[in-house]
Amino acid sequence: MRPRSLLRVRRSHRTDPPHGSVRFALLFSLSLITTMGCLFCSAPQASAQTPDRGEGSANVSPPSEVVARDTPSDRGESIAVAWTPPPEDTGPGGAIDGYRILRAQSATGPFEAIGQASAGAAAYTDTNVKNGINYYYTVVTLAGTAAVSSGVAGPAQAHPQWLNTNQWNAFIILFLLLGFNLYYIEHIKSGGKPFIRKLAGLEAVSEAVGRATEMGRPILFVPGIQDMNDIQTVAGITILGHIGRTVAEYDSRLVVPTSRALVMTTARETVREAYLSAGRPDSYNENDIYYVTDEQFGYVAGVNGYMVREKPATCFYMGAFFAESLILAETGNSIGAIQVAGTAMPAQLPFFVAACDYTLIGEELFAASAYLSGDPKQLGSIKGQDVGKLLGMASIVLGVLISSLGAITGWGVLEKISSWIESFWSTTLA
């Protein structure tokens, strides 16, 4: 009977397990399924929440030592922002893409982007500010999608400066030129007589006026086509005074057609004074100094018509000329007149040189007016400018020699001196 009972007991153990074992198996299976499900579901959520900072930009540093200050040697409305790049900044193509500059009018913001700087940069100039207002800045390092901001720099205010210290060389050159001018002006006032070489065109004035007087024909003076605000017109009117005095002494006739009303008025006063100083005020005729037109070729047509009809024996062209220079000079040459021209317009000088008997080239026009006026200020200025030009030419020759010797010998001292001479005459801002 026992073996049979034992068999029954074993059979019942295999087919009817206890309730605790079943519960444990169910809990273990449920836990396993839940764990696997969480593992498969959590990976997409991490990828969406974590931004892609880009390769090599996971650990970037913000710029350090950010400084904002007024831009020196300017007219204001500008603030210079400088910073020290982080160690990761190796220039274009490195881990850093660049920098974004933010600005606010309060240290707590709100900040707004005003510009960007490329990788490797360490400065930015904000030119969109107003003078006298506080501005705060922060610089953001950009690396992929990552952005790391620096501390706040400021406040900084923009102000205009009285002096541009970057152009110290211009100040020294101006100081030297003014010194030379003042010295020679005082020297001439005290009785000194500076040497000014004779100009053939001025020496020919007496001859030309005398020839016109002998032939009984008028003398034509054309003061250019610009107004009295042009320095060439002023120089021409000064020469007109000298010619008018010579014409009055020879008791000849001087005709001055003008293209500007103000030039006509000035010319009349100048010639009247010239006749008065020559002791012949009754010979002055203001109708010989008249206005034609402001229109360029209308003026030329009127003057050419007079030249063809009256055939003046002498023609003077002193002032600013343009395309009409060749027309006037060719007409005067066709009637056989002695022609003396003077202008500082480089494009018109070849025509005057080809068609006229005498030509005052460029600065000779101004030197002639100063010489004829006898004014110490004008004569002193001419001599002072000559000394300045002499120093400039000497500096160029010296710089070429030193630079050549430095390149041949490789001596660093000569190269530094050559570089200093070049920067001294440079007009580029430092």
Beta bridge partners of 295: none
Token pair of 76 as six digits: 């204001």
What is the pLDDT confidence band of residue 28, given thresholds at 50, 70 and 90? very low
Please give the average per-residue pLDDT across 100-107, as a whole number: 91
Cα 401 from chain centre: 30
Q: Give Cβ neighbours of residue 34 (< 8 Å, ≥ 6 apart).
A: none
C-alpha span between 143 and 100 (Å, rounded): 11
* pLDDT above 50: residue 39: no
C-alpha span between 419 and 410 (Å, rounded): 14
Name the most confidently modeled range: 59-73, 187-201, 206-220: 206-220
Q: What percent of the chain has pLDDT over 90?
A: 42
Q: Is the pTM of this model over 0.75?
A: no
User: Mind listing the pLDDT tens digit for each residue in 359-395?
Assistant: 999 888 888 878 777 788 888 888 888 888 888 888 8
User: Mind listing the pLDDT tens digit for each residue in 150-204?
Assistant: 889 889 998 888 877 777 777 888 888 899 989 989 988 888 887 777 788 788 8
Name the most confidently modeled range: 46-55, 102-111, 126-135, 290-299: 290-299
**pLDDT value, residue 16:** 44
318 and 221 in contact (C-beta within 8 Å)? yes
**pLDDT value, residue 90:** 78
**pLDDT value, residue 245:** 93
Higher pLDDT, 58 or 416: 416
At 77, the amino acid letter reads E
DSSP class of residue 332 equals H
Burial class (CB in 10 A: 0-12, 13-18, 19+), 246: buried
- Strands, E assignment, 28-111: 64-70, 79-84, 98-104
Give the number of other Cβ atoms within 10 Å of residue 130's Cβ. 10
Least reliable range by pLDDT among 2-16, 70-84, 281-295:
2-16
172 and 426 in contact (C-beta within 8 Å)? no
The mean pLDDT value of the chain amounts to 82
C-alpha span between 151 and 137 (Å, rounded): 8
Pairing, β 289-291 against β 314-318: unpaired
**Radius of gyration, alpha carbons of the chain:** 45
**pLDDT value, residue 377:** 86
Q: What percent of the chain has pLDDT over 70?
A: 86
Name the most confidently modeled range: 23-32, 240-249, 406-415, 420-429: 240-249
The order of strands in the sheet holding 314-318 is 289-291, 254-258, 219-222, 314-318, 338-343, 358-361
Helix, coil or strand: residue 267: helix
Q: How many CA atoms lie within 13 A of 81 on its CB side?
A: 32
Helix, coil or strand: residue 394: helix
C-alpha span between 201 and 316 (Å, rounded): 10
Q: Which domains does the chain have, with CATH numbers?
A: 64-156 (2.60.40.10), 200-374 (3.40.50)
C-alpha span between 401 and 340 (Å, rounded): 41
Beta bridge partners of 419: none
341 and 360 in contact (C-beta within 8 Å)? yes
C-alpha span between 415 and 417 (Å, rounded): 5
* pLDDT above 50: residue 61: yes
Q: What residue spans of 311-375 are helical by DSSP H?
A: 324-334, 349-355, 363-373
**Closest listed residue to residue 60, CA positions, set 20, 97, 106, 96:** 96
372 and 202 in contact (C-beta within 8 Å)? yes
For Cα atoms 369, 386, 176, give the angle at the middle one, nearest 5 degrees.
Answer: 120
